[in-house]
Amino acid sequence: MPEEKTREGLTVVVTGASSGIGKGIVLKLAEQGANVVFCARRTEIIEEMASELGPQALAVTADVSRESDVEKLYEAAMERFGSIDVWINNTGVGTYGEFTDTPLKDLVRTIDVNLLGTMFGSHFAIAQFKRQGYGTLINIGSFGGRVAIPSGAVYSASKFGVAGLTTGIYQEMDLEGRNDIHVCLVNPWITDTPWTIHAGNYSGHEILVGPADDPEKVVDTVIGQIDEQEEIVDIGGKSTMATVARKLAPSVTDKSTGRFMSDMLKQAPPSPDTSGSLHEARAEGTGVSGDLRKRLQMKAEGEK
Report the side by side order of strands in the sheet with 232-234.
57-61, 35-40, 11-14, 86-89, 135-140, 181-187, 232-234
**Amino acid (1-letter code) at residue 73:** L
Q: How many CB atoms are closer than 10 A to CB 262? A: 14
**Amino acid (1-letter code) at residue 26:** V
Enumerate residues 6+ apart whose C-beta is below 8 A from 260: none
Q: How far apart are CA 279 and CA 198, in angstroms?
A: 10
Query: Which residue(s) pair with 246 in the sheet?
Result: none
Q: How many CB atoms are closer than 10 A to CB 1? A: 3
**Cβ–Cβ under 8 Å, residues 37 and 232:** no
Instruction: Let me know if 134 is a catalytic residue.
Output: no
**Amino acid (1-letter code) at residue 35:** N
Residue 213 backbone phi and psi in degrees, to 5: -80, 155
Angle in degrees, CA 119, 169, 238, rounded to 5: 85
**Cβ–Cβ under 8 Å, residues 201 and 276:** yes
**Cβ–Cβ under 8 Å, residues 185 and 233:** yes
Catalytic residue among 96, 155, 170, 202: 155
Q: How far apart are CA 89 and CA 239, in angstroms?
A: 20
- Residues with a known catalytic role: 155
